[in-house]
Chains A and B, each alone.
Chain A
Amino acid sequence: MNSFFKNIFRFGWANFYRNKLLSFQVIFVMVVVVLTVTSLFLFKGLASYLIGEIEKRVDVVVSFKREASEEDILKVKEKLYSFSQDIENIDYISKDRALELFKEKHVNDPVYQQALNELQDNPLLASLNVKANNLKSYADITGFLEKNEDFASLINKISYNDTTHKQAIEKLILITNGVKQAGITIGVILSLLVILITFNTVKLSILSFKDEITTMKLVGASSRFVRGPFVIQIFICGIFSVAIADLIIFCGSFYLNNKISTWLSQFNILNYFQGNLLFLVAIQISIVIILGFISTWLASRKYLKI
């Protein structure tokens, strides 16, 4: 058994280096395959980051009537936390804090400054700024606040009910869903292409060994003994292609990182790639091994039937 595997590895390696042009072709195609799969992974990371960034900027402001006490508002805050696990954060902005923020915001605007000085009382209302992990949760949160009789009498306005705010959130939901679905669709299409390209490349390389396979069978070799070296040959091509593809991606990420850092300051594509390198290499090698094995098995099956 030991010499069986030793021979298979020896023949596989010999097939690899004696058929340099063929090995180069297989490596080239596999590099494209690995680059495609890895780019898809990096694209997913970038898309998740962008969607997250957009979602972070969205919130719903619940403003309370003048007569609502801080205690009542904090109770509403507590109830909201227990209502939905999608709530990431709720900030309580008291009337005084709201006034401070307003003044800070318009510190250079003399019209606002003058208007504020003329007012005796603080005209602003206390509010809760609700941030959720999921854009879809805002409709549920609004519904919860509106339907609850204890809160309804305290609430002055919920920003989600503004037509523009609601439309903006709904549009964002559509966009993020669209991006996710496009990602899945592109992923499925590219995966099918990758499978087809790999299979055809392996099929062509096996075709060039058709006569040898027939001869090997005619001298009494078992199908495993015939097929094994081809699997090893494709596996070696796969290892080389993973190394080459990762080197290309590393250089590409390094270059791209400098370009995109100006508008994506928080997302470092190089760090993202390096941080996931082990996982990526495991996935890449698994893909080339599985695809290589299945393709070799299927492509050689026809010639082994002798």
Chain B
Amino acid sequence: MISFQSVIKAYNSGDKIITAIGGVSFAIEPGEFVSLVGKSGSGKTTLIKLLVGEEKPTEGSVFFQDLEVSTARSEVLQKIRRKIGVVYQDYKLLLNKTVKENLSYIMEVIGAPQENIDADIPQVLSIVGLDQRMNNFPHELSGGEKQRLAIARALIHRPQVIVADEPTGNLDLYNTYEIISLLQKINNLGTTVMLSTHNKEIVDALKKRVITLESGKIISDEKVGKFIL
């Protein structure tokens, strides 16, 4: 479903070339739950950016369902992005839209009928505990609430893959547990989940596949992995 083939991503920084990803290859099959583990700056976020076509690899290829993301035309990239729900570390919420509109926008993008939009939004907001904040704007939400909204947005259109970049960073223990349980439930229903985290407890408790990154390279890829850093 997802395949990284000898991917290198380097940035020019003045006279220096900084290598964020240094020759990474791995594949994720449909229905898998994969934790991407690594310290800050290890390349986790860059891998996510490469997957959604926000960045292009310097070398190598990234595939999503046999479509090469790195060379995809705009229309193809749109289709790929509509199949992936991403929880961004910096939330990337639509600041001029209410909580409800942030969710309905995604459904309108995929062309969902109004009845589905009206039915699904309260349901998903209830799951993430934001049903009372439907008409608030993102700037009126706390950090945890923004994160939950970002999660709700990634789920709302029932994507084939959910990619979550540090989705519990601003959540307390209880909400962290709730969100991880939710991701597990979604995964049990057949959705592929790619979770980027440096939370040892979560990774160890999941008992799922763990890909460990260090300085842009994979140092371990275990079927039932543990947090080794």
Contacts and interface: CB of A to CB of B under 8 A. Distances in A.
Interface string A1-35: 00100010000001100110000000000000000
Interface string B83-94: 000100000111
- What is the size category of the interface that chain B forms with chain A? 20 to 34
Contact of B81 (A15, A18, A212, A219): A219
Nearest to B83: A220
A216 B93 CA distance: 9
B47 to A, nearest CB: 15
A218 B109 contact: no
A135 to B, nearest CB: 60
Interface in A196-253: 209, 211-212, 214-223, 225
B54 to A, nearest CB: 6
B96 A219 contact: no
A15 B96 contact: yes
A79 to B, nearest CB: 72
B74 A223 contact: yes
Contacts, number: 55
A212 B79 contact: no
Given A18-B96, A306-B54, A219 B105 contact: yes
A203 B196 CA distance: 36
Interface in B60-104: 74-75, 78-82, 86, 92-97, 101
A35 to B, nearest CB: 30
A225 B109 contact: yes
Interface-central residue, A209, A217, A218, by most chain B CB under 10 Å: A218
Nearest to A223: B74
B86 A218 contact: yes
Contact of A220 (B82, B92, B101): B82
A211 B90 CA distance: 11
Contacts of B95: 211-212
B110 A14 contact: no
A209 B95 CA distance: 9
A215 B88 CA distance: 10
Contact of B94 (A3, A7, A215, A306): A215
A223 B78 CA distance: 9
Contacts of A214: 92
A18 B92 CA distance: 19
A212 B52 CA distance: 16
A1 to B, nearest CB: 10
B96 to A, nearest CB: 5
Interface residues of A, number: 21
Nearest to B75: A222
Contact of B96 (A3, A14, A221, A306): A14
Given A216-B105, A306-B54, A221 B94 contact: no
Interface string B103-143: 00110111100100000000000000000000000000000
B146 to A, nearest CB: 13
A225 B105 CA distance: 10
B61 to A, nearest CB: 19
Interface string A56-73: 000000000000000000
A215 B93 contact: yes
Contact of B109 (A14, A18, A221, A306): A221
A211 B110 CA distance: 20
Contacts of B96: 14-15, 18-19, 209, 212
Contacts of A7: 108
B41 to A, nearest CB: 22
Given A19-B96, A212-B94, A219 B108 contact: no
B98 to A, nearest CB: 9
A108 to B, nearest CB: 80
Contacts of A215: 92-94
Given A220-B110, A225-B109, 9 more contacts: A14-B97, A14-B101, A211-B92, A212-B96, A216-B109, A218-B54, A218-B92, A219-B105, A220-B79
Sorted from nearest, which 3 A-B pairs have the closest CB atoms?
A220-B82, A220-B81, A215-B92
26 contacts: A3-B108, A14-B96, A19-B96, A209-B96, A211-B92, A212-B95, A212-B96, A214-B92, A216-B94, A216-B109, A217-B81, A218-B54, A218-B81, A218-B86, A218-B92, A219-B109, A220-B78, A220-B81, A220-B106, A220-B109, A220-B110, A221-B78, A222-B74, A222-B109, A223-B74, A306-B54
Interface of B: 52-54, 74-75, 78-82, 86, 92-97, 101, 105-106, 108-111, 114, 153
